[in-house]
Amino acid sequence: DAGVIQSPRHEVTEMGQEVTLRCKPISGHNSLFWYRQTMMRGLELLIYFNNNVPIDDSGMPEDRFSAKMPNASFSTLKIQPSEPRDSAVYFCASSLRGGTGELFFGEGSRLTVL
């Protein structure tokens, strides 16, 4: 079975550019989570969705960050404009709400903003 699929795996961009990260959750999972990993802050929960609806975006650091889930098989995390401090690894994870719930993680998107 395919796991959570994220793209791109690596992104290098210049400050001020728009960045879009993509995620395809495991088929049948109805909850999707975006996490960010940095050395300084560890793993931070940015936003999560249930049945394609955003539930809590209080972890999104600034208005420059936005996330969407137009359907059950696709989500995006967008940063516009990007800044060097956004450099991190961004993980998408999915699970089945109502279960005992381990999250299944993608391989991550490593973002470097110059």
Partner 1 sequence: AQSVAQPEDQVNVAEGNPLTVKCTYSVSGNPYLFWYVQYPNRGLQFLLKYITGDNLVKGSYGFEAEFNKSQTSFHLKKPSALVSDSALYFCAVRDMDDSWGKLQFGAGTQVVVTP
Question: What is d(CA 52, CA 55) in angstroms, rounded to the nearest whole number?
Answer: 9
Q: Is 56 in the site for partner 1 (CB under 8 A)?
A: yes
Contact 3, 108 (CB under 8 A): no
Nearer to partner 1 by Cβ, of 53 and 62: the residue is 53
Q: What share of the chain is helix, strand, coil (3-state, %, to 5)?
A: 5, 55, 45
Q: Kindly give, in sequence order, each residue whose CB lies less than 8 Å from that of residue 68, ignoring residues fewer than 6 positions away.
A: 75, 76, 78
Nearer to partner 1 by Cβ, of 5 and 81: the residue is 5
Exposed, middle or buried, 62 (CB in 10 Å: 0-12/13-18/19+)?
Answer: exposed
Nearer to partner 1 by Cβ, of 42 and 70: the residue is 42
Q: Is 45 in the site for partner 1 (CB under 8 A)?
A: yes
Amino acid found at 24: K
Q: Which of residues 72-91 bind partner 1 (CB under 8 A)?
A: 91
Residue 81 C-beta: closest distance to partner 1, Å = 27
Q: Is 33 in the site for partner 1 (CB under 8 A)?
A: yes
Q: Is 103 in the site for partner 1 (CB under 8 A)?
A: yes
Binding site for partner 1 (CB under 8 A): 4, 31, 33, 35, 42-43, 45, 48, 50, 55-56, 91, 93, 95, 97-108, 110
